[in-house]
């Protein structure tokens, strides 16, 4: 599906809807803020980028790194986006 979303409109619509649900779910868990939907979208799409780099593109740096190390490096960015605005 991820590969197809770039060339097939139906696949793109499906992925967009799925990501929209994930963004809504993450946004509901964030502190109320004017930009909570944007923050949620940034969290979801940043993780999507890591997934694409690892799974679809097979980037060596991501494939060779232990998952816990990747998570540790991403944690400050996700915390910054998920925390209170300001």
The pLDDT tens digits of the residues spanning 15-69 come to 999 999 999 999 999 999 899 999 999 999 999 999 999 999 999 999 999 999 9
Residue 17 structure tokens? 């809807």
Distance CA 3, CA 11 (A): 9
Kindly provide the b/e burial profile for residues 7-34, where b requires at least 16 CB atoms within 10 angstroms of the residue's own CB. eeeeeeeebeeeeeebbeebbeebeeee
């Amino acid at each position: 599906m991820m590969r197809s979303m770039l060339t097939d409109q139906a696949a793109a619509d499906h992925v967009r809807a799925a990501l929209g649900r994930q963004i809504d779910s993450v946004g509901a868990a964030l502190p109320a803020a004017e930009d909570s939907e944007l923050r949620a979208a940034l969290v979801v799409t940043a993780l999507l980028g890591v997934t694409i780099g690892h799974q679809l593109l097979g980037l060596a740096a991501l494939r060779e790194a232990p998952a816990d190390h990747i998570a540790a490096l991403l944690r400050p960015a996700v915390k910054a986006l998920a925390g209170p605005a300001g």
